[in-house]
Structure 1
């Protein structure tokens, strides 16, 4: 990796971390969801600073092409992020269902009370 590319990548990753911490500060992103993004950023930063570490890891895994290894690593992170987001959506769906049911019960009680008053 050329020094220019390495410096560009380090600057991009610093901006990435600034963006994450800005989202965290503005409470746009919850703390429990930022850990995955921070982990991904730290891994990218380590592989940018020490590119031979990535090359050796790829060779250790038996991948012959560095580009294939990079592609596999990207797919791995995408799958992890998708699993995390799917978990969040599932929890939110259950919460919405519960709130909808509670709302329906309260509306029914309100109608019953209004009918008694009449």
Structure 2
């Protein structure tokens, strides 16, 4: 996965895939190679997320939060929304040239 410049360049699904790299090791890196890889991911995460807990969101979650990619995403969304910051890229679904609308409660 190519790292993107801003958080709003990622869809939520793409960012979950990015976060999974902290929880899994699909490239089977070891030793210094793993340390360097994680270091690059951490730097990127901290730069684009801007959350005051930084990489603690991943490595030292609070007691009331799971240590999963989904829990990290939920906290990022909660905090960024509270700060008036942009969130993830929204992809509009197009079906044969028509754009779908959100379901309304009628």
TM-score if structure 2 supplies the norm length? 0.31
TM (norm. structure 1) is 0.29
**Which of structures 1 and 2 has the bigger CA Rg?**
1
Higher helix share: 1
Quick one: higher RCO (CA 8 Å, sep 6+), 1 or 2?
2
